[in-house]
Amino acid sequence: MSEGHSDIDWDSARASNLANWEDRVPLHEEAYGTGALDDPDHLTSVVRTDLAALAPFLPDGTVSGLDVCHLQCHIGTDTLSLARAGARVTGVDFSPAALASAANLAARLGLDATWVETDVLDARAAVVGSFDLVYTSIGTITWLPDLDRWAAQVAGLLRAGGTFYIRDGHPILYALDENAEGLQLRYPYFGTGEALIWDDESTYAGDGKVAHPRTYEWAQPLSEIINSLIGAGLQILRLEEGKTLPWKVSPRMMEVPDGFAWPEAERDLVPCTYTIVARKTGELPTP
């Protein structure tokens, strides 16, 4: 549960968030079940879902042979699933521990990948080359205070005609009280410019605890997300809203195939995720 709001500066918020995400790496190496990837045919459930959604917008319906940049890739399980599906992948994250874990996993699996340590808000300057697909999924941009700058990185990384894909937790989901007995609003839907403060020793996966529990996130309405992409020159091709989520955001959620959902009687009342597919239709100035 959030501990309130803060006008903390970005550098301080980033440092606190980074310490938290560094702590998560060993916990997630176990909780993600990375051993499943030892099966050469295995793809993560996140990537299986996303590839099906992406298929109508890709050449031949597949990422095979495409240059793909995965933003906020964490320990690389989804990045390497994209590689296994035939993509040439570059994973971007701000956590050195996460990227070290990703590189070790790639070596173990015999998969090629490039790893770049940088804030996603500085990705264009840090990453070499341009891409057919920029991909981000899931639980990502709520950590960012400036979506216009984020969208500029996405546009800058894409080749003309390239595709952007994001699936993430729905802003309505993030506005709900995760511990209420029913669907009840608690947190802001609209951004105020201030960060939401969280103090939580747990993570969304596994039972371990982190040593640095304080994190900062920002509320972002769906309109802000879409308009940031439009403002960066991208054409919105598709918007979907989903009823399931890959992590259990509330103890009331029930396990369903490839994720979690609200009790059946409530499932049609609020969305859990949104998915946006967009395209870069022409050359843009470098951000």
| pLDDT in the model for residue 2 | 54
Encode pLDDT of 26-43 as tens digits: 988 887 888 999 999 999
Encode pLDDT of 95-105 as tens digits: 999 999 999 99
What is the arithmetic mean of pLDDT over 13-34? 91
- Give the single-character DSSP code of 247: S
- Give the single-character DSSP code of 36: G
Question: Is 36 in contact with 147 (CB distance < 8 Å)?
Answer: no
| pLDDT in the model for residue 3 | 61
- Give the single-character DSSP code of 60: G
Indicate whether 203 pLDDT > 60. Answer: yes
Pairing mode of beta strands 273-280, 234-242:
antiparallel
Cα gap 272→254, rounded to integer Å:
13
Encode pLDDT of 129-188 as tens digits: 999 999 999 999 999 999 999 999 999 999 999 999 999 999 999 999 999 999 999 999
pLDDT band for 284, please (50, 70, 90 cuts): very low
What is the arithmetic mean of pLDDT over 113-127? 98
Cα gap 27→202, rounded to integer Å:
10
Mean pLDDT of the chain: 93
pTM, two decimals, is 0.94
